[in-house]
Structures are given as C-alpha cells and as structure tokens.
C-alpha cells in the first residue's frame, strides 16, 4: 500500500511549513535515510529524511509552496513491488487530507537529532477538549480515584478515551506534567478583551496607495502568536537594578589582550559583555535554584542546569539559541559557542533542539544604546533578563561624586512560579557576580 508523506511538525508551536525544495523527483528510487526535501519552518530550514524504501510516486505539493498545514499530504511513496503509476493516480484522485494538530509531547519526546520523517496516515485524533456536560467532567472511576490519590485537578487533563473521556493513562501522564490543556483566559476576562481590528478596518484608516502590504512570513506569525500568548497567560512583574561594570570591562580588556593566537594569527576567543552576562545569569540561577523553574499545571519543574537562551536578531524577526549547561562552561567556551550559534541562526541553520526549551533567557539591546527596557518571557521559561547599555553616569561613593560605568538590567518574572522576593534574590546574585567577575571562575 502506498505511504503518504506528510508535512511534519518540527516544533510544538508549528502549524504550517513551507516546502522549500524537493531533492528527489517523481520516479526516483529512495532508500531509508535519503534526504528527499527541505522543509522551511518559522525558525530554520530542515532536511526531510525518508524512513522507508520505495519510489517517489507523486509530489503532491510542489516546491516553493508556502503555509502547508502540518500533517497535510505532500507526496506519495510507492513501496517495493507496488505499481508506481497506480500510486500516483490514487494520489491525484484523493481528496485533500485534513490537517490535524500534532501532539506537542510527541515532538518533545523525539531525540534532538531526529530529522523529520515521512509518516503513515494515523487514525483520527481524539477531541482536544474534555468531555463535559454542564459542570461534570466525564472520567472513568479508576481515573477519578488515581487523580484523588495524586491530588490532580481533572479540569486541565486532556482525555484520550472515547469522546474525550479521561482514563487512567491520562492521569499517569498528568503526573509528569504531560497531557494538560493550556488554561484559557477568555472566561476569566470575558468582555474585558476588546476584539482586534480586522484587516479591512485597519486599511480603511489609511489612504489607498499610501502604504505597501507586506505579507507575514511564518516567523513573524509565530512570534506574534507566542508573544501574545505569553502576555495574556503569564502574569509578568519586573525588577530593575543598576550594575557597576567597571571591573568587568577592565577584566574583559585584560583577558582579550592575553588570548592566545592560532596559526592564522587570530585570537582563540574574544569575550563580549554579553558572554559575562550569560555566565553570571547561569551561576545566579544555581545560587537561587528556586528561581530556576518552569510552571506546569501539575507542578513546578525545578531544573538542575542553567540553559540560557540568547535573543539573536534576524531580518524580520528573532530567534533564541540556547547555551546548555552554561554554569559549567568557561567564558571563552560560552563566547565561541555563542558566536557559532548566532552565525547559524542568521543563516537559519539551527536544529530545533538548539533553540527550544531553556530555563531562562537574555535579551541585550545595549549595543543599540537602549538604557533599559522590559522583555517578554519566552514560555516555558519563568524569567528573562533585559540588558541595557553600559554608560558613564555620576554616582556617589563615600559621600563624593564619581564617574562609573553603569548598566541597567531588568528581570521579568512569571508570578505564578516566582514571587517578588525570590526574583529580587536572583537579580541581586546576578548583580554581585557581574560587578565582581572573578567570582564566576571560582
């Protein structure tokens, strides 16, 4: 039987993708592991590997096609010994396959290095809302007993039984934070949320010919969706401190001047202020472990390592590559790793595991001369640190005016997971480390 090759979901938030390029043509023999296409997501371009042998019978979606829904059929593979023409004809006559949402936990469970794979059609997915009648949530007696024993609220649990009924396996998954629906804010706010203006209403405010319409690409749509969800579902609060980075700038100059040179005459590393910031935040999270958490409906995930995301500007958007286990790495290692990640990010060559997840993030606009700002938290993280420009300011020392290089930093916190005093502990530890950089290496 022919195998449908589907548009893969390469991240939990991906709903659509672009078929950038077909590397095989109709009639080509394909072996398992062959790269058959390049799929463009909102963040990167990924190679699509075949997992079965056969012949590419029909390309349903031509290259260059944009906004193809996840799980839509993009090609048909005829198996060994199957009639290729018959498989192609069946593809032509088949009605368009309805796209279904790929479960986020399925993506998360895949190994980081896994490439997108062709998928066989799956049975219809269970309705993604709980089976309810009035205030009653339908669940099996065993599921209710297990939920009571584990002190789990059934409201956010997504049922996988018939008609969305919650069964025992759903409770087991809920214990580890999986299979839970995102909370809806609409009932809570009700009419407080004003409806957004339609495209026609916005355009009607401007004279015809006075503007150019630039269609959104996948990256801009994803950024809009994720940041809207963040500010609507995460209760943000902000804490700001001024940091004296005089010792940091002196140490940076001294370290860079002493960097060994390679055979090409280039220094082995060149530290930036941002490298110190990444290291300081990573170590601060280790010193205040209760702030190194992620919120889930079933409990807090308390992370053992500091995986720091760093916002990198791209044409038309941004991406946040992650320095894993940053607390264990030297400043020079962080610098070189960040340089590589940023370069590949701008080329859209990062793999999903290099920009998904993370326990906190850094957004640095200091190089643009921004004095201070607040950054939006990137779920599932609970904090993000906004870094302003280091500038000379007048300070008072021992009752005397003096000049100092001051950098303002603002910590955004998720109030569900972190309270004001805990956030203050974290930013205070950061300030201590950034003002005394020698403490980062002991």
Catalytic residue among 236, 305, 353, 415: 415
Residue 301 corresponds to which tokens in the numbers above? 């995930």
Which residues, 6 or more positions from 436, have their beta carbon under 8 angstroms from its beta carbon?
247
- Asked if 415 is an active-site residue, the reply is yes
CA dist., res. 331 & res. 334, Å (int): 5
**CA geometry: angle at 288 spanning 441 and 180, to 5°?**
125
The phi, psi pair for 100, rounded to 5°, reads -120, 150
For residue 258, how far is the Cα from the chain centroid?
Answer: 37
Helix (H, G, I), strand (E, B) or coil at 102: coil
Q: Which residue reads 């990640």 in tokens?
A: 341
Residue 82 corresponds to which tokens in the numbers above? 């199957």
| Sheet strand arrangement including 322-323 | 236-244, 400-414, 383-397, 360-364, 308-310, 322-323
Residue 15 corresponds to which tokens in the numbers above? 């709903």
Q: 33 and 66 in contact (C-beta within 8 Å)?
A: no
Q: 378 and 233 in contact (C-beta within 8 Å)?
A: no
Which DSSP category does 329 fall into?
Answer: S
* Antiparallel, parallel or unpaired: β 360-364 and 383-397: parallel
Enumerate the active-site residues: 415
């Amino acid at each position: 039987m022919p195998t449908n090759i589907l548009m893969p979901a390469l991240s939990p938030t991906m709903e659509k993708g672009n078929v950038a390029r077909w590397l095989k043509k109709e009639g080509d023999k394909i072996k398992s592991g062959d790269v058959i296409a390049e799929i463009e997501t909102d963040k990167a371009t990924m190679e699509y590997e075949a997992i079965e042998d056969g012949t590419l019978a029909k390309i349903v979606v031509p290259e260059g096609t944009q906004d193809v829904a996840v799980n839509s059929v993009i090609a048909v593979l005829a198996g060994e010994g199957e009639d290729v023409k018959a498989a192609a004809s069946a593809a032509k006559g088949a009605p368009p396959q309805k796209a279904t949402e790929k479960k986020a936990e399925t993506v998360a469970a895949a190994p980081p290095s896994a490439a997108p794979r062709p998928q066989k059609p799956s049975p219809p997915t269970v309705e993604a809302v709980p089976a309810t009648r009035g205030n009653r949530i339908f669940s099996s007696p065993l599921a209710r007993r297990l939920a009571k024993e584990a002190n789990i609220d059934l409201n956010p649990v997504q049922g996988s039984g018939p008609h969305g009924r919650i069964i025992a396996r759903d409770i087991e998954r809920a214990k580890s934070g999986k299979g839970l629906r995102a909370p809806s804010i609409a009932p809570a706010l009700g009419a407080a949320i004003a409806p957004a203006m339609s495209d026609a209403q916005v355009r009607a405010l401007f004279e015809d010919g006075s503007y150019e319409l630039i269609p959104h690409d996948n990256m801009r749509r994803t950024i809009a969706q994720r940041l809207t969800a963040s500010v609507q579902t995460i209760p943000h609060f902000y804490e700001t401190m001024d940091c004296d980075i005089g010792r940091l700038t002196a140490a940076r100059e001294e370290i860079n001047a002493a960097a060994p040179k390679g055979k090409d005459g280039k220094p082995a590393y060149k530290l930036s202020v941002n490298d110190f910031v990444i290291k300081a935040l990573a170590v601060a999270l280790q010193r205040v472990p209760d702030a190194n958490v992620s919120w889930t409906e079933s409990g807090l995930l308390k992370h053992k390592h500091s995986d720091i995301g760093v916002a990198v500007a791209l044409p038309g958007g941004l991406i946040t590559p992650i320095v894993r286990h940053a607390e264990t790495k030297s400043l020079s290692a962080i610098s070189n790793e960040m340089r590589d990640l940023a370069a590949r990010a701008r080329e859209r060559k990062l793999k999903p595991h290099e920009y998904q997840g993370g326990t906190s993030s850094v957004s640095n606009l200091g190089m643009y001369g921004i004095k201070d700002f607040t950054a939006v938290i990137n779920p599932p993280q609970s904090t993000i640190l906004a870094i302003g420009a280091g500038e000379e300011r007048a300070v008072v020392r021992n009752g005397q005016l003096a000049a100092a290089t001051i950098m303002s930093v603002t910590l955004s916190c998720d109030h569900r997971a972190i309270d004001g005093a805990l956030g203050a502990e974290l930013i205070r530890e950061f300030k201590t480390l950034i003002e005394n950089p020698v403490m980062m290496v002991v």
